[in-house]
Structure 1
C-alpha cells in the first residue's frame, strides 16, 4: 500500500510535479492551462518553495518519479471568482489554502492523497499563524467531492446557488494540532 515515499518537494522534483499538474488540468478538468488559474503550476518554486509559509509535497514511486502532488499557500479564496463571504471568512495570511492535490490515475485509491493532505495539515499547524484550512474542488472530477467530504465540511456548494457560480464546492478542513 505504501510503495511511494512522501517528501517536501526539492528543486529536482519540480519538473515532474509540473508535468503531473498539467496532465491533471488537461485530462481531469478539461480546461487545459489557464494562466489566471494555473500560474503556480508553471513556476512552483516561486509559488510554493520561496515562502516559508508555503509548501509543496510530492509522492515518489520507487523509481523516483513524481506520482502525486499537494500544495499549500497563504492566499485565501479571491473574490471574484469566489463568493465574497468566503473571501471574507478565509482571508489571505490567516488561511492555509490547499491546492494541487493531484494523483496520477494509476496510483489512485492507495491513500496517497490522504497522506499528502495530512502532511499539509501538519505544516499548517506548525506554522502557528493559520486560523483555518480551506480548499475548493470541482465535483465533476471522479472521487474528488467524496474524498474532501471524508476530511472536512462543506462551507459553500455553488451548485446550490441560483446562478450556479462555477459549480465548485468549498470546504474547511480541521487543522491538526
Structure 2
C-alpha cells in the first residue's frame, strides 16, 4: 500500500502540480487548456501561492516523491457569466472560499486523497477567516466527481436540468469552525 503526504505547494512544486492539472483537463474533461477557464493552471504562483487567503496543496507519493494530486482554494466567487447571476450573488468574491483543481491522477484514485485534500482546504478556510461559504462546481461527466462532491456537500444547482444549461453542477460545502 502506498503512502502519501499532503503539503502546501511551494514554487518547487508548481511544474509538477501544473502537469497534474493539465493532464486532467486534457484526459478527463476532454476540453484541453482553455485560457478563460484555466488561466490559474498556467500561473499557480500568482493564483494560489502569493495571494493571502489562497492556497494550493499537493499530494506526494512518498515512494517516488512525485506529485499525484492537487487541490486549491481562492477567494474568487463564481463569475457571471458564465455562471448564473444568482450563483454569483449567493457566493460573492471575498466571502466565498472556492475549491478548485481537486485533481487526482487516475492511477492514484480511490485511496482517499481527494477527501484528505478537501479536508485540509476546509481547515485552511476556517483558519484564514473572512469566509462565510465554501463553493465549487464540477463536471459530472468526470467519473466519480458528482458522487464525491455529493458526499461532501449539497448541490445548489444542476445546470443539466436547466434550459440551455451547461454540463455543470454547483455545490456548497459546509464551513468548518476554526
1:135 aligns with 2:136: yes
Contact 1:138–1:167 (Cα < 8 Å) also in 2: yes
Instruction: Report the CA distance between 1:2 and its aligned residue.
Output: 6.3
CA deviation vs aligned residue, 1:51-99 (integer Å, no higher than 9, x gap) = 1210000000012110000000000000000000000000000000000
Count of residue correspondences:
176
Q: Tell me by how many angstroms 1:160 deviates.
A: 1.2
Q: Which residue matches 1:65?
A: 66
- Is 1:77 matched up with 2:60? no
What residue is the counterpart of 2:112 in the other structure?
Answer: 111
Unaligned runs of 5+ in 2: none
Aligned match of 1:51: 51
SS at match of 2:48: helix
What is the aligned partner in structure 1 of residue 167 from structure 2? 167
Instruction: Find the counterpart in structure 2 of residue 20 from structure 1.
Output: 20
Root-mean-square deviation over aligned CA pairs: 0.8
Give the Cα–Cα distance (whole angstroms) in 1 for the partners of residues 10 and 76 of structure 2: 22
Native 8 Å contact 1:71 1:120 kept in 2 = yes
* Whole-angstrom distance in 2 between the partners of 1:153 and 1:23: 28
- Paired position in structure 1 for 2:98: 97
**TM-score (ref. length: structure 2):** 0.97
CA contact (8 A) 1:2 1:110 kept: no
Once the 2 structures are TM-superposed, how far is the Cα of residue 176 of structure 1 from its aligned partner?
A: 1.2
What residue number does 2:153 align with? 152
SS in 1 for 2:170: strand
